[in-house]
Every structure is written in structure tokens, then in C-alpha cells.
């Protein structure tokens, strides 16, 4: 007769145990979730503090420049001349316009999570886009990773500068912004020199030849037309020959629209096959035609604006 009460008691105990196990499991999951949220919050706080420091640094640089020049940021400088003064008066005569929306750079820079995601994606892009340069310079695996880190740092610093300038109303065409940009570029060049050491001159020349590397990249990417793939050695030698037959700009950068194709074609006979040379010639001629069309469009646009202003 006591069997049923005993069974009921045991059943109750089993259910109680099951509920206790379930409660303990839920409590454990809750504690883990809370710990994860705490860690995430700490990470966001750290990222926010870092971002605030970066923006504060950029803003302080703008303020220091304002103190040195004695001119409020965002206002046209004296070099603007009468045109700047006239445009300022015209703007003052117009009714106030709503504040424009922040650029994508400012939005990303002011959001720690977006900044972290952008930096991660930019690092992947840097590795993909500059992979050929790393190989051409003979960088070690460690140097390559450090160079990627430097490129991400440089990009973030540039974004900080642009975001601070935008929020301060500083025109990127102004002398103040150009001076800040020059200081930024100087810092980047110093860090690049420290990282690369003896490889820095080769790196500078590699950067200067970007203009003609585009044509060679097109040749590499079009084996369907040439029928033959290219090796890294062929790529670099072809770039050097094209660069040697181009005019240089003020910063010694190669001006690809000035390539002397007749001379380059003769020198390329020992590097490329006849089919590859013909294909590369078509690519270069197309780019030269595009550059001429762009220059003509720019000139005609300037003439049209001048005629409209004269009326």
C-alpha cells in the first residue's frame, strides 16, 4: 500500500532534480551571456577611448595650426584673393542652408565598431592589392605583416584628419589643410623608412611607377587575348621598360600618357612574346586615347565656364 506514495515521492524528487539541473544550466548560460556582454562593453569602451584620442589628436593639430597662422579654420585665406572674397559675400547673401550630412569617412571614424570593421577589411585589401609589391621588394613574412599594420595605421590617421577637418569646417583646398596633409605625409614617410630600411629607395620607385603598372596589370589579366601568362620577373621588367620611356612629374612619378611606345616596343622584344607586345600596345594606345579625351573635356569645360562668367 505504501508503494504508490513512495513512487509519487520519487517522481517528485526526479522532477525537482530535473528542474534544478535546468535552472542551473540556464543560470550558467545567463552568467556566460553576461560575461560576454561585459567583455564586449569593455572592448567597445576601449575602442571608444582610442577613437576619442585619435580624434582629439587630429582636432588639436587643427587648433595648433590655427594658432600658428592666426586665422580661424574654415575661413578662406588671403591666398584666395578677390575670388574667395567675392564667393564669401555671395554665400553670405544667400539664405542659410541646412547643415549637410556627414561623409562616410566621418561616420565610420565616429563609430568604434565601424572603425574596427573598416580597419580589418582594409588590412585584407592592402594584402591583396600590394601583394605584388611585397614580392617584388622581397619583404619577409614579418616585414609584410608589419607593413600591412602600417598601412592600416596610415589610413586610420588620414581618416581622423579628414573627419576632424570636416567637423571643423576646414576646406581641403585651403592652405591650412594642405599643411596638415604635408605633416601627415612626412610622418608616414618616416615610419615607412624606419620599417623598410635599405629597401626604401626601391619602394619609392615602385610607387612612382604605379602609372604604368596599370597597363601591365591589364596584360596579366588578359591571357585570353595574348594567349600567354606572365611571370613576376616579366611583369617587373616590363614595368621598368615602360617607366624608362615615360616622362616624369614633379615628384618623379611616371606619367603614363607620355610613354614612347615605339622605343619601348623594341626593348620589350627580349622580355615578352610578339603577341604579348601587340596586346600591350593596344592597352597603352587605349589609355593614351582616354587621357587625351579627358584632357580635352577638362579644357572645354574650363572654356565654357570662363565664357559663362564673362557674361
* pLDDT tens-place string over residues 177-200: 889 899 999 999 999 999 999 999
How far is it, in rounded angstroms, from Cα 192 to Cα 186? Answer: 10
Task: Find out whether 178 and 73 touch, Cβ atoms under 8 Å.
Answer: no
Which cell numbers hold the place of 262? 615605339
Could you tell me what percent of the chain has a pLDDT over 70? 66
Average pLDDT value for the chain:
76
Q: How confident is the model at residue 95, as a pLDDT?
A: 46
* pLDDT for residue 233 is more than 60: yes
Q: What is the pLDDT of residues 260-278, one digit of tens each?
A: 999 999 999 999 999 889 8
How far is it, in rounded angstroms, from Cα 276 to Cα 226? Answer: 5
How far is it, in rounded angstroms, from Cα 30 to Cα 22? Answer: 12
How far is it, in rounded angstroms, from Cα 28 to Cα 202? Answer: 58
* pLDDT for residue 97 is more than 60: no
Using alpha carbons, list the distances in angstroms from residue 33 to 20, 40, 47.
20, 10, 21
Q: How confident is the model at residue 16, as a pLDDT?
A: 53
* pLDDT for residue 47 is more than 60: no
CA angle centred on 207, ends 204 and 211, rounded to 5°: 145
Q: How confident is the model at residue 204, as a pLDDT?
A: 93
Instruction: Compute the radius of gyration of the chain from its Cα atoms.
Output: 31
Q: Strands 254-255, 247-248: parallel, antiparallel or unpaired by DSSP?
A: antiparallel
Count of residues for the chain? Answer: 311
* pLDDT for residue 46 is more than 60: no
| pTM for the whole structure | 0.59
DSSP symbols for 157-197: HHHHHHHHHHHHT--TTSHHHHHHHHHHHHHHHHHHHHHHG
Q: How deeply is 80 buried, as exposed, middle or buried, from its count of CB atoms within 10 A (0-12, 13-18, 19+)?
A: middle
In the three-class reduction of DSSP (H, G, I as helix; E, B as strand; rest coil), residue 215 is classed as: helix
How far is it, in rounded angstroms, from Cα 5 to Cα 15? Answer: 15
* pLDDT for residue 309 is more than 70: yes
* pLDDT for residue 220 is more than 50: yes
Which cell numbers hold the place of 144? 609584410
* Of the listed ranges 37-51, 105-119, 144-158, 293-307, the one predicted with least confidence: 37-51
CA angle centred on 120, ends 115 and 122, rounded to 5°: 90
Which cell numbers hold the place of 216? 601591365
Taking residue 138's Cβ as centre, other Cβ atoms within 10 Å add up to: 9
141 — pLDDT class (breaks 50, 70, 90) = very high
Closest CA relative to residue 156, chosen from 115, 125, 193: 115
How far is it, in rounded angstroms, from Cα 242 to Cα 178? Answer: 32
* pLDDT for residue 88 is more than 60: no
228 Ramachandran zone, left/alpha/beta (phi>0; psi -120 to 50):
beta
Amino acid at each position: 500500500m505504501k508503494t504508490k506514495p513512495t513512487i509519487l515521492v520519487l517522481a517528485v524528487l526526479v522532477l525537482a532534480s530535473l528542474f534544478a539541473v535546468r535552472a542551473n544550466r540556464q543560470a550558467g548560460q545567463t552568467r556566460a551571456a553576461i560575461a560576454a556582454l561585459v567583455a564586449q562593453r569593455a572592448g567597445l569602451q576601449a575602442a571608444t577611448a582610442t577613437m576619442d584620442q585619435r580624434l582629439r589628436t587630429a582636432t588639436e593639430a587643427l587648433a595648433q595650426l590655427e594658432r600658428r597662422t592666426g586665422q580661424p579654420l574654415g575661413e578662406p585665406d588671403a591666398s584666395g584673393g578677390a575670388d574667395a572674397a567675392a564667393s564669401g559675400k555671395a554665400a553670405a547673401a544667400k539664405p542659410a542652408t541646412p547643415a549637410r550630412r556627414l561623409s562616410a569617412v566621418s561616420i565610420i571614424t565616429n563609430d568604434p565598431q565601424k572603425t574596427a570593421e573598416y580597419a580589418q577589411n582594409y588590412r585584407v585589401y592592402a594584402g591583396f592589392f600590394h601583394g605584388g609589391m611585397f614580392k617584388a621588394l622581397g619583404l619577409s613574412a614579418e616585414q609584410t605583416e608589419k607593413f600591412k599594420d602600417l598601412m592600416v595605421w596610415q589610413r586610420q590617421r588620414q581618416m581622423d584628419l579628414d573627419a576632424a577637418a570636416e567637423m571643423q569646417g576646414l576646406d581641403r583646398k585651403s592652405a591650412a589643410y594642405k599643411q596638415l596633409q604635408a605633416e601627415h605625409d612626412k610622418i608616414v614617410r618616416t615610419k615607412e623608412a624606419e620599417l623598410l630600411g635599405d629597401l626604401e629607395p626601391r619602394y619609392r620607385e615602385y610607387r612612382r611607377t604605379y602609372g604604368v603598372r596599370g597597363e601591365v596589370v591589364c596584360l596579366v589579366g588578359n591571357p585570353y587575348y595574348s594567349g600567354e601568362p606572365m611571370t613576376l620577373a616579366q611583369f617587373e621588367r616590363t614595368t621598368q621598360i615602360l617607366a624608362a620611356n615615360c616622362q616624369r612629374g614633379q615628384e618623379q612619378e611616371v606619367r603614363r600618357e607620355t610613354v614612347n611606345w615605339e622605343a619601348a616596343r623594341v626593348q620589350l622584344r627580349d622580355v615578352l612574346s610578339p603577341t604579348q607586345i601587340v596586346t600591350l600596345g593596344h592597352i597603352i594606345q587605349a589609355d593614351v586615347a582616354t587621357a587625351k579625351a579627358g584632357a580635352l573635356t577638362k579644357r572645354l569645360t574650363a572654356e565654357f565656364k570662363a565664357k559663362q562668367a564673362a557674361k
